Structures are given as structure tokens and as C-alpha cells.
């Protein structure tokens, strides 16, 4: 946990506890961080000694994490069944239990991918050809 010094748009200063600075950024982006005095959610982080020092650490840790993510993606792609242009159709079938649960890869238009994401289906865009990872 880290303590961040925060300020709302009209200048109330307060402290917030977060798992990481990234966690604050995420929550602030979703307007989940509010000023305890006035309730405004446009909260910004104030620079402070401890915060700056602490923010160094997650950045150094992020390199191996990125490598792990890249390795996981590579594994998913290697094991994924290639359904080529039936990607959107298959992804939907798997999501709604009409086909066996498995990772698939294939091509989908940007529009199709957006529809899948709106339906809560996990799609991982990987350039051309696009691939999806379904759990």
C-alpha cells in the first residue's frame, strides 16, 4: 500500500491509500476517487517526496511483468485454434456455451471486435491477423 497526497479541483488536500500509483490512476480515471470534503471526483495527485520515491519501484518491476505477459500471449497464440474469418462467430459460440471452451485466433473486423467486447467477450487485438483469447 502507498499513501498519495491528493487534491480536488477546488483545493481540498487529503490522503488516499492505494495498492500502487497505477491503481490510483485507474480508479481516478473511472471517477472512483472522490474528495472527502466536497465529493468531487476530479482528484489529482500532488507531488511529494515519498510518492516520487515509491513510484520508482513499480516501474522497475514492470519490465519482467511485461515479459511474462508477452510470454503468456505467445503461449495462448501457439495453443489457440485458428478459426480464421469465423473468429467473431466462434468467439460468440464459446462465450455462450455453444462450443467447447478454448482459445481461438483468427481475423475479425474492428466493428466485430468492438461488438464482442461490448458483449463481454475478451478479445486481444494483435495486429494482422487479429487473435482472441477466451477464458
| Contacts with Zn ion, residue ranges (CB under 5 A) | 8, 12, 35, 37-38
Q: Which is nearer to Zn ion, 33 or 104 (CB)?
A: 33
Q: Which is nearer to Zn ion, 42 or 68 (CB)?
A: 42
What's the CA gap between 131 and 108, in Å, rounded? 8
Name the minimum Å distance from CB 32 to Zn ion.
15
99's grid cell: 462450443
Write the CA distances from 89 to 24, 50, 93, integer angstroms: 37, 50, 6
Q: Which is nearer to Zn ion, 38 or 122 (CB)?
A: 38
What's the CA gap between 25 and 44, in Å, rounded? 9
Name the minimum Å distance from CB 49 to Zn ion.
23
Name the minimum Å distance from CB 41 to Zn ion.
10
Amino acid at each position: 500500500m502507498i499513501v498519495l497526497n491528493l487534491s480536488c479541483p477546488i483545493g481540498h488536500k487529503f490522503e488516499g491509500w492505494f495498492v500502487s500509483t497505477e491503481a490510483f490512476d485507474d480508479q481516478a480515471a473511472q471517477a472512483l476517487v472522490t474528495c472527502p470534503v466536497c465529493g468531487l471526483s476530479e482528484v489529482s495527485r500532488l507531488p511529494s517526496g515519498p510518492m516520487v520515491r515509491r513510484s520508482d519501484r513499480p516501474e522497475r518491476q514492470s519490465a519482467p511483468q511485461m515479459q511474462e505477459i508477452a510470454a503468456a500471449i505467445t503461449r495462448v497464440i501457439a495453443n489457440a485454434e485458428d478459426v480464421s474469418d469465423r473468429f467473431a462467430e466462434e468467439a460468440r459460440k464459446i462465450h455462450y456455451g455453444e462450443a467447447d471452451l478454448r482459445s481461438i485466433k483468427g481475423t475479425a473486423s474492428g466493428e466485430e471486435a468492438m461488438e464482442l467486447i461490448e458483449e463481454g467477450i475478451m478479445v486481444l487485438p494483435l495486429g494482422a491477423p487479429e487473435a482472441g483469447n477466451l477464458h
